[in-house]
Homo-oligomer: A and B are copies of this chain.
Amino acid sequence: MTEKSTDDLALGQQICFPVYAASNMLTRLYRPALGPLGLTYPQYLVMLVLWEEAPQSVSSLGARLHLDSGTLTPLLKRLETAGYVARARDAEDERRVKVSLTEAGAALRARAEPIPRKLAGDLGLSEAEFEALRRSVWSLVKALETPRGAGIP
């Protein structure tokens, strides 16, 4: 008696679509705030990671953001051109490239500081709704970090 399949393909039934739509919409929401800083949204995420810890290798940035070198290498080159980061081969292990903050890159943090609070306010969600949402979405990321295709005991 499973309702004869309540149309699993309906857009409104999906979990994947609202995540996809919200991601695109958030990128658009951030654009006006990030434009004056000379950053795109993915570049901003890279800076967030570097502001937490620098220098870091390309692969550790990738592990944190779930991005690979094919995406990060050109992005980091643009951040380097912008003067926010420096890239140099690690002397300890010549395979690695260490990405460090320039003075301008470190200073940019102060200008980025008000952005999260301001944009969170633009959402018009209550503090409780916001917290619940943040926990929910992080739990989805955790679930996605655990591969299931092969099955787990």
Q: Which residues of A contact B (CB under 8 A)?
A: 5, 8-11, 13-27, 29-30, 32, 41-42, 45, 48-49, 51-52, 64-67, 109, 112-113, 116-117, 119-125, 129-130, 132-134, 136-141, 143-146, 148-149, 152
Contacts and interface: CB of A to CB of B under 8 A. Distances in A.
B49 A11 contact: yes
Nearest to A134: B15
B45 A17 contact: yes
Given A8-B113, A132-B136, 14 more contacts: A14-B116, A17-B65, A19-B19, A20-B26, A22-B23, A22-B137, A22-B144, A23-B23, A25-B66, A26-B144, A32-B149, A123-B140, A136-B137, A137-B137
A123 B148 contact: yes
Main secondary structure of the interface of A (DSSP, over half): helix
B139 A133 contact: yes
B109 A122 contact: no
A4 B34 CA distance: 24
A48 B9 contact: yes
A143 B116 contact: no
A8 B140 contact: no
B120 A15 contact: yes
A20 B19 CA distance: 8
Nearest to A120: B15
